[in-house]
Copies of this chain bind each other. A is one copy, B any other.
Amino acid sequence: MVDLPISFLDVAAAFDRLANHVHRTRVATSQRLDRLSGYRVVLKCENEQRTGSFKIRGALNRLLQLGEPALERGVVAASSGNHAQGVALAAAITGTRATIFMPADAPASKVAATRAYGAQVEFYDRVTTIPASLVEEFAARTGATAVPAFDDPAVMAGQGTLALELLADAGPLDAVVAPLGGGGLLSGIATTVNALSPGTRLFGVEPADGDDWVRSLAAGHPVLIDPPATIADGARTRQPGTLTFRVVSQMADGVVTVTDDEIREAVRFLALGMKMVVEPTGALAVAAILAGRLPLPPGSRVAAVVTGGNVDPDMFAAILTSAPGGGSQGR
């Protein structure tokens, strides 16, 4: 039993703090998904969350705990993805300035969305620069508070708030399945579910080409992998966090992987069958369910977290039109 960085009370406090700022996203069901999987599945639709992903929860929970002097000095983060928008909106809500370092080749739509929330975007060269050092240098120079994407207790606790909603809205669950990037989300979920529903099993899902968690859990410590080339850009992390590894290694029941083709199939299913726009990373858990990758008996009640919907339009179009089957049938 290792010492854990967050407790259920941290998640409960975050839930209280975030009320009226984030959406209580719906849970969705689909008779077709149940038929295809053999499970009774509920989806937690964080693609419909503010900013289009769950990341606002953790970022805002961090910022809402800053004092007035810190808020006056601003916040800083590095992200080419959903964390950028989460920090940007959290800064707007708390009335502070956000500086976001993004790679120079970040999609224009993500840059525009981050700026639309009022953040200052600074570009860096992905090849020559390590963004963490940029954030550190900026924070040291300006006094701004760094907001990590996952390896931070306040961020982990904030992400866990979606599990409180899920347990209340979905009823008894045999398992919860969530995408696994840096591990902040699964850490928050595990802390919550372990406290409230200890019989519920917990699984993380990562892309086959970005299996840093599978390897790290086998090794017993965080392992650094080569830069992954998966379509699931939100799960291209190369190494679990120090804090998140402690939580996930102790509380999760397993981590499974899915191929990029299985991710595409899940994105198509969600779009054509359930009318949901979901980005590849956001479809990881559904991909694992559809691919039969989970060690759960038929009939299990399984919740899958759909984490985000900020998909590049061109990529989304390519996934939809590469359909082997397709079909526009509803549920």
Contacts and interface: CB of A to CB of B under 8 A. Distances in A.
Interface of A: 26, 28, 31, 47-53, 85, 107, 109-110, 112-113, 116, 268, 271-272, 274-278, 309-314, 316-318, 320-321, 323, 326-331
Given A328-B113, A329-B112, A329-B116, A48 B313 contact: no
Contacts of A311: 328
Nearest to A23: B331
Given A31-B50, A113-B329, A276-B277, 8 more contacts: A51-B329, A51-B331, A52-B330, A109-B326, A109-B328, A116-B329, A313-B320, A314-B321
Nearest to A311: B328
A324 to B, nearest CB: 11
Contact of A271 (B51, B110, B116, B277): B277
A321, A323, A328, A331, most chain B CB atoms within 10 A: A328
A318 B314 CA distance: 9
State the oligomeric state as a number of copies. Answer: 2
A241 B331 CA distance: 29
A48 B317 CA distance: 20
Contacts of A318: 317
**4 nearest A-B residue pairs (beta carbon):** A52-B330, A317-B317, A113-B329, A275-B309
16 contacts: A47-B275, A48-B275, A51-B329, A52-B328, A52-B330, A107-B328, A109-B327, A109-B329, A113-B327, A271-B313, A275-B277, A275-B278, A310-B329, A313-B326, A316-B317, A316-B320
A312 to B, nearest CB: 7
A103 to B, nearest CB: 16
A331 B272 CA distance: 22
Contacts of A110: 328
Given A313-B321, A313-B323, A317-B318, A330 B50 contact: yes
A312 B328 contact: yes
Nearest to A306: B275
Contact of A330 (B49, B268, B312, B314): B49
Contacts of A113: 327-330
A52 B157 CA distance: 36
Contacts of A275: 47-48, 52, 276-278, 309
A189 B47 CA distance: 30
Nearest to A116: B329
A86 to B, nearest CB: 10
Contacts of A28: 48
A277 B107 CA distance: 22
Contacts of A328: 52, 107, 109-110, 113, 310-313
A273 to B, nearest CB: 8
A327 B50 contact: no
Most buried by B among A28, A274, A327: A327
